[in-house]
Structure 1
Amino acid sequence: MDFVNASIYLKAKYLAIKEGMPPLQFFKKHSTVNPTYLPIDFLFEIYEWARDNLSPGFSVRQGEQLNSEDYGTLGLSWKTSWQAKDILERLQRYMVLVTDQGTIQLLEKNTHSQLFLHRPPRRKGIEMANEVSFVMLTGVLQEVTGQKIQPNQVTFQHSESSSQKALEEFFQCPVEFGASQNMLRFRTELLEIRTIKADKSIHRFLLDRLEEEKKGIFSQSDHLLMDIRQLITEVLPSGIPSIIEIADQLNMSARTLKRRLAEKELTFRNQVQLIQQETAQDLLLNSPLSIAEIAFQTGFSEQSAFNRAFKRWTQLSPLEYRKTQ
């Protein structure tokens, strides 16, 4: 089950009710709300109802009312971080504390930084969620720095939005739809602006808390996926494992494992590639290993093949990625 922070859902719900949604619209269906997390489909249903029944621009109004206080320890880490860029880096690492649907990727190149939201718009609620995320992030950057940090390019994968005018007014730049990526682009110098309440000591303490909370999320998540990830990670230095090998370790047939993953809209190949990418990025940033050694650790027999794969994942070569982070 994909989940989302309950605070985001509740703010969307109360805003929709304030603007005209019947208070009991989803009462029975959404009655099993966890104090901290709930199924993300609940949020998507609110967004889809708002899109069809309320005035255009709901995604902007929802995004604008979200702030650092809605994100618990993660939000506190944003406030005490050193500069604006840190907010995006913390979200990249700890997005699972907000939702387990989608990932964030931050890339720096030359004078600009690009933030990618990897969350394909498979339904209208996700389209609005992606818009809300970008509005919220821009607002938080301004909140914690006290400066008017604005992107100079915004793109979404979905083809159109009733909120286009409101989005362009908020971002103060053209907003492109039908793009290949969900992306915010900033001038890098803007992300170097200091935060108002920077405190390195408190921030270090909060980072430890975030790691504990992240482990807690994973311990409550699907144990099958955790087992698969662990097994793949362990054998990668010896080469990319087959689904048959991993299924044998899990005491099930390859067909059963394939079916269990399909139930979660996942494939074994994508899980392997995701772990390869995460491992490679971590080693490039946090280890002294050479690129050839990292290629070996992530299951590649040749560095050239690793270079091509990494370029496909991140749009940068391994060396460029190591230098720009």
Structure 2
Amino acid sequence: MQGEQGRLPAGFLCGLAAVPGVGRIVGCIICSMKQYQTIEQTIGGTPLVRLQRIPGQFGQERGNVILAKLEGNNPAGSVKDRAANSMISRAEQRGEIKPGDTLIEATSGNTGIALAMVAAVRGYEMILIMPDNLSLERRAAMTAYGAQLILTPANQGGMEYARDLATSMQAEGKGKVLDQFANPDNTQAHIDTTGPELWRQTDGGITHFVSAMGTTGTIMGVGSYLRSQNPAIQVVGAQPAEGASIPGIRKWPEAYQPKIYHPEQVDAFEYIGQHEAEEMARRLAAEEGIFAGISSAGALVAALRVASRVQNATIAFIICDRGDRYLSTGVFN
């Protein structure tokens, strides 16, 4: 009486039991359980919302619409949930790792939090290496998921130092580095999910895609997919202006350039100052009700600059994470 893979056929027990005065029981535990998702299955499918107030003269007057993809709605709170799930699950499928193994990653925060979540679900030990000048909320989130956190002195090289330490730990046999900076599974996550979502949500009408640039997995993957649907779509990257220190927006030294990054696939760059990104983060919350991180606000600054130059455009940008990850920095005070 069992169906494929040893399970009872759907509906086999439904209605078999009867209660006097009530009649048949219309459902069963087995059938109901099939309808529930795991936490991993809730990654993606994030909303795309129209900004109403901030675009001002660069919006409706010019026929432009500016859309925000709310990646903070992912279960671990950022766009990096997609990449983390992709890197771990695909490596597992290839037989490169198995539950119980130790994984290592250098991170500025969001990737580490996402990896810690997926590692917890799939049964891996997670070691995360992060510069010590990043927010307390990020540290707490990583350890809440059970990850071991190693803090490195920011004044000794920041993320570059953290990446070198991760590589040396792998060489010493302490675990496997997933390496978000060189791992094609990072980019593939956005080719498979984020890009198609944006295309569907705009009914193929998107004309410009804007993203902060850190590991560059998001901008590479989304840009690649969107261009496969319409080569005329413009891809715009937000990078830090001279002297700016914005978590999630980086311009890497040549020796540390992410291997997944292909600069020819980005049509234009907008250089974002720290003060304007922080001010825009406050405006996003106060004027649009979107509580977002600083790199997300930097991407919006870039999107507004694009909107000031074009007409009748549909401009989508990525809200990378939520603002509550930055409360201890004082930026929202």
The TM-score bracket by the shorter chain reads under 0.3
Higher RCO (C-alpha 8 Å, min separation 6): 2
Larger Cα-atom Rg: 2
TM-score, normalised relative to structure 1: 0.28
TM norm structure 2: 0.27
Higher strand residue share: 2
Q: Which has the higher helix share?
A: 1
